[in-house]
Structures are given as C-alpha cells and as structure tokens.
C-alpha cells in the first residue's frame, strides 16, 4: 500500500524550485537594473560602465593603455633575492678599480665597441676606466662638433677624449613644459649609463660625474674659440660655449671655482657612426603631430613599407633595437630621441643609445608616447623582457642607488625620480601584458 506522504514530497520540490527560480530572477534584476535598490541597508547607486575585452580592439593606443593603468600598483620584492644579488655583485665587481695602468686600460677600451655593444658583457676594466675619467689630468679643452647645446670636449692625459656636459639645474629642479624642454641634465646622462648595465643594454657609453675647476682645468687649457666665451660675473667664472643655442645670456658659472658635470667617454677614432632619422621622431611643433601620433597602425605600415623594420626579414633587428631604446627612454623619461646612431660599416649594427641628457625632467609625469614603438609594434626581445621581470622582483631604484654609491657626484637622483623609475618599470610590463592579451605571446616576446 502507498504511503500518503509520498505524494507530498514532489509538491515540496516544485515549491522549492519555484522559490529558487524567483530568487535568481530577482538577483538578475538587481544586477542589471540602473535604478537604486535598497538591499539590507546598502544602496547600489550605480553600475560601472561596461569595459570591452581587449580583443575588441586591434591595436593599442595611449587612451586604452591609460584606462588599464588605473591603480596599477605592482608588488615589489626584496632586492637581495639571489638572482638580483648575483647581478648586482657582478656589476659592482666590474666597477671596482683594479689599479691597472691607464695606458693599457685605454688600449683595451679602444677594442670594446662592436656591432652589438659599446661595453662588453664582461668588462673587468670598467672600474679603472671610471677612475681614470674622474682623476686624469685635463690637457686640452675644445669645442666639439656635435649636438646643439653647450658641451666641451676634454682631452685627458694619455689622449682619451671625453665629452663634458655641465650642470644646469640642481637635483630637485622641475622642468615645466614639453617632454623635450630645458637644457641637458648631466645627472641623467650618468644614471643612463648605470641603468644600461642593469638592463644589459650595453649600448650606452661610460658616463661618470666629476667636478672640475672651471678656470684652471678648462679656461687655462681652452682653445681660442672656446676661451673667448668665458667671462667674470660676481667673482665667479662663467662661460657659454660654442653651439647652435649658445648665447651669453644662457651661461653656466662655477660655484667656489668648481663646476659639476658629466664626463661621457668618447668613442675611438676608428669607430664611425651613421645617423638615421627615427620613425618616431616628433615634429617639435605644438600644433602639428607626427604620423605615428595619430595612426595606431603606424608600426604595421612601417614594417610593410621598409624591409629594414620588418622583423620577419631574416636577421633584421632594427625594430627590436628601437623598442629596446623606447623602453630605456621611458624609464629615464627621455622624449628627445629624434635620431639614432649605428656603427657605420658594421653589418646589422645595433642601435646605440647615445645622448641621454634630456631625461629626468619631471618626476610627476610619465610620458606614455615615448613607449610608442613598444605598444604600436607589440614586440619585445625575450632577453630584455626577462631582465625587466627580474628587476621587478626588487626595487629598480634601490639597485640604481646601490651601484652608483661610488660615483663622484652621488646622489644622482632625488626620491621622487627614484619612485618614478619603479612606477615606469611597472608600466612597461603592464603594456607587454596588454600586448600578450591582444596577440599570442609568441608573437610579442621575440626569442
């Protein structure tokens, strides 16, 4: 005989199912409704605007990247984790002077430059080179035939030439205006050299700090065309040099007889450079933009129009070199890379990273358009990407402070600029992540 309670069980299931269905419908209405709804004393005041998936666009641009950088706080680890500790030890070993004879050191560095680097992967003579540049006697000061801003070519004892870039601003001076505004920052030139060691982009010449006596070490040894630009002002020795933008009103003066500056190692006479206009050159006009600033497909067109920039062409590395440079420039905030240089006559020569003075003008702004080669092409070398990921495990600013402790004009940067370095490293890696969401990682990260 059937029990009467057996007939009630299915009715209970129907009621439970109906209630569950009604609850789900109510929740859906709550989630999708635009009107405020009171729920347990909490008000759902608005629903965030729907953001399309990254695959809904084909090319990255500044607006899209900025929208994905909100609250981009990446966690920094301890700088002394083993791989980073080994890297810093290696670099610091290179930076220690070995007290080698400077003539043998000069003979060695004359052989440094190759088609792929200016400083070799292992450079035990580096510390001796730095010591020589900081202490060697200056025997001649002349006008260099390069650049548009005030510089002095110094010849040191032994015949090595170095380019002297004087200090224009104190460390905390804020450069207003565009990314290329202001005079060169000598400390930026020095930081760029040390950063090149950390990034393993050894295509930047050695640059170190030195304080020189403007009268006895430069004026007294200056060629006539340079010495005529010297004058006295309030018992200080001043000069304005010879260059396109050099004028008596735009001068530098020594403080207590000494003038701080950066010495940049001049390349051997045997190394000839060839200059090219950068595809990502700015117009330097406020009312006129370059093609790359308005065309998200610029990199694709560039690769189709020129074999030099087509990474699919066997052996072509020019585009990847420019991406390297853009990442380097973004970290130091150098937006003045209008031309680039390679070693003339060397097959498939790497792009050198020279003239880094227009860096660290502002700590409060990250000029994303410097990264255009990266986010428009969505290509990066595996080696550089791995190095960036390694540096992210610690604090890049801490590493820079660690390897620059012995520089003659330490500290090179104030804290806001050091913080900006860490922030920009995180931004670079975030852009690579966006590229890998838009394209297959194998197409973005090039081995």
Q: Which two tokens stand for residue 174?
A: 């804020």
Instruction: Give the active site residue among 128, 184, 336, 407.
Output: 336
CA separation for the pair 49, 29 (Å, rounded):
17
Q: How is residue 193 annotated by DSSP?
A: H
429 touches 390 (CB < 8 A):
no
407 is catalytic: no
Helix (H) or strand (E) holding 205: none
- 142: burial class by Cβ within 10 Å (0-12, 13-18, 19+)? middle
Q: Can you give the three-state secondary structure of 415-442, one letter per residue?
A: HHHHHHHHHHHHHHHHHHHHHHHHCCHH
Task: Look at residues 55, 52, 69, 51 and name the one whose alpha carbon lies nearest to residue 368.
Answer: 69
Between CA 205 and CA 287, with CA 353 as vertex, the angle to 5 degrees is: 140
| The total number of residues written for the chain in this structure | 447
378 touches 438 (CB < 8 A):
yes
Q: Which two tokens stand for residue 190?
A: 């020095």
- 273: burial class by Cβ within 10 Å (0-12, 13-18, 19+)? middle
CA separation for the pair 95, 207 (Å, rounded):
12
Q: Please report how the helices 318-332 and 298-305 are oriented relative to each other, as an axis angle in degrees rounded to 10.
A: 150
CA separation for the pair 170, 248 (Å, rounded):
21
CA separation for the pair 109, 279 (Å, rounded):
32
CA distances from 35 to 8, 43, 49 (A): 41, 10, 14
CA separation for the pair 216, 331 (Å, rounded):
37
| Residues known to be catalytic | 336
């Amino acid at each position: 005989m059937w029990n009467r309670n057996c007939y009630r069980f299915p009715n209970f299931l129907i009621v439970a199912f109906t209630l569950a269905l009604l609850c789900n419908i109510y929740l859906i209405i709550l989630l999708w409704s635009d009107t405020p709804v009171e729920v347990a004393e909490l008000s759902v005041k608005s629903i965030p605007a729907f953001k399309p998936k990254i695959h809904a666009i084909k090319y990255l641009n500044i607006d899209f990247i900025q929208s994905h950088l909100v609250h981009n706080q990446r966690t920094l680890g301890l700088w002394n984790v083993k791989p980073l500790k080994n890297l810093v030890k290696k670099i610091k070993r290179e930076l220690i002077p070995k007290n080698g004879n400077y003539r043998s050191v000069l003979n060695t560095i004359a052989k440094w430059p190759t088609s792929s680097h200016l400083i070799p992967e292992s450079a035990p003579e580096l510390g001796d080179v730095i010591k020589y540049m900081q202490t060697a006697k200056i025997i001649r000061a002349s006008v260099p035939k390069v650049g548009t801003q005030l510089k002095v070519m110094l010849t040191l004892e032994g015949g090595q030439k170095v380019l002297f870039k004087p200090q224009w601003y104190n460390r905390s001076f804020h450069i207003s205006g565009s990314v290329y505004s202001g005079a060169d920052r000598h400390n930026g030139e020095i930081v760029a050299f040390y950063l090149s060691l950390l990034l393993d982009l050894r295509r930047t010449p050695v640059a170190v700090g030195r304080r020189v006596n403007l009268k006895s070490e430069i004026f007294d040894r200056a060629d006539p065309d340079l010495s005529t630009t010297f004058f006295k002002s309030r018992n200080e020795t001043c000069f304005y040099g010879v260059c396109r933008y050099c004028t008596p009103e735009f001068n530098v003066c020594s403080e207590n007889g000494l003038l701080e500056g950066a010495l940049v190692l001049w390349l051997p006479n045997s190394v000839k450079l060839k200059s090219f206009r950068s595809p990502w050159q700015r117009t330097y006009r406020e009312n006129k933009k370059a093609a790359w600033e308005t065309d998200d497909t610029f990199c694709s067109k560039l690769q189709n129009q020129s074999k030099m920039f087509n990474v699919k062409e066997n052996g072509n590395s020019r585009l990847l070199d420019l991406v390297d440079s853009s990442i380097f420039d973004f970290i130091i905030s150098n937006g003045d890379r209008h031309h680039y240089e390679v070693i003339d006559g060397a097959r498939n020569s790497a792009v050198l990273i020279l003239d880094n003075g227009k860096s660290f003008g502002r700590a409060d702004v990250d000029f994303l358009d410097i990264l255009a080669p990266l986010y428009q092409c969505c290509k990066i070398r595996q080696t550089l990407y791995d190095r960036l990921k390694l540096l992210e495990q610690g604090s890049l600013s801490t590493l820079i402070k660690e390897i620059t402790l012995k520089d003659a004009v330490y500290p090179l940067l104030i804290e806001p600029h050091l913080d900006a370095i860490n922030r920009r490293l995180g931004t670079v890696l975030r852009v690579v992540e966006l590229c890998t969401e838009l394209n297959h990682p194998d197409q973005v990260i090039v081995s």
